[in-house]
Amino acid sequence: MADRRLQVFHAVARLLSFTKAAEVLHMTQPAVTFQIRQLEDQFDTRLFDRTHNRVSLTEAGKIVFEYSERIFEQYSEMENAIREMTNDISGSLTIGASTTISEYMLPSLLGEFNSKNPDVRLRLRVSNTEGIVSMVENNVIDLGVVEGMVNNKNLLVEVCRQDDLVLIVPPTHALAGKTAVKLKDVLDYPFICREEGSGTREVVLDYLYALGMDKHAMNACLELGSPEAVKGAVEAGMGVSIVSSASIGKELKLGSLVAIPLDPPLTRDFSFVRQRQKFKVRAMEELLEFARSYCENLKKQK
């Protein structure tokens, strides 16, 4: 219902990037530029300064952005009020999840939710934890599901479940028969780690620091960009790694990997992250309630 030019302006102003706005809006960059020019022609003033490959709001742009925030908030409140009155649960939600969660937790959760709420359109964006938090901060996604700590106090963070991290080795490895292992013994072997920005990597580094170990101890690790790549490298005998216990069910059944608890144990939280909105969106509330129940059931199964 909202003016398309204002929607495009709002996305560019939020992200301060024509390229990122085009990606979020599923438009070409020239189409985004055209919409902005039309709005600038209507107001007969520039709304953005474009200098040295940087985009910033002019004084007029800041005023338009402030009003557009209020306008879109009012639109959302209106739509939600009507849906509340008609008991309609519909609309679209964009969910963002870090790699481990998107591969091993979300498929069943979102599949069950979608079967019970077919009129809610779900979109999934996948990145590492740092990327997902950034998307929530910039309103690119409605809800993030991440592993590890979220340091932005302006976001709402709600713990879903606790995740255990374990050492994985091939069945023929020297450590395979141990019932528990200390980190100092793990670092005697080639180590395979996730990329910078990964929640798993950050948790392992924090664990290393907490044990008073040299912060450079993992500098020589082989960096890989996904849990599947890490597991494949360990299976191939390239080294050992620490991963989420939620990610290795198939490999344990097949016997291609052995999981060994760490001493002391290493755990982290899987959490929902969202903006502190002034209004509630019915579809989002339904998804959160469903996800909370899903997480409770997982806790009972542990």
pLDDT of amino acid 219: 61
pLDDT of amino acid 260: 97
Show me where the domains of the chain are located.
4-85, 90-301
Q: What is the fold, at CATH topology level, of the domain defined by 90-301? A: D-Maltodextrin-Binding Protein; domain 2 (3.40.190)
Q: What is the fold, at CATH topology level, of the domain defined by 4-85? A: Arc Repressor Mutant, subunit A (1.10.10)
pLDDT band at 1 (very low <50, low <70, confident <90, very high): very low
What one-letter code names the amino acid at 105? M
Q: What is the pLDDT of residues 68-106, one digit of tens each?
A: 988 887 877 787 677 667 665 667 788 999 888 888 888
Whether residue 279 is predicted with pLDDT greater than 60 in this model: the reply is: no
Q: What is the pLDDT of residues 196-207, one digit of tens each?
A: 888 888 889 889
Segment 217-227 shows an average pLDDT of 82
Q: What is the pLDDT of residues 231-249, one digit of tens each?
A: 999 999 999 999 999 899 9
pLDDT band at 280 (very low <50, low <70, confident <90, very high): low
Segment 270-291 shows an average pLDDT of 79
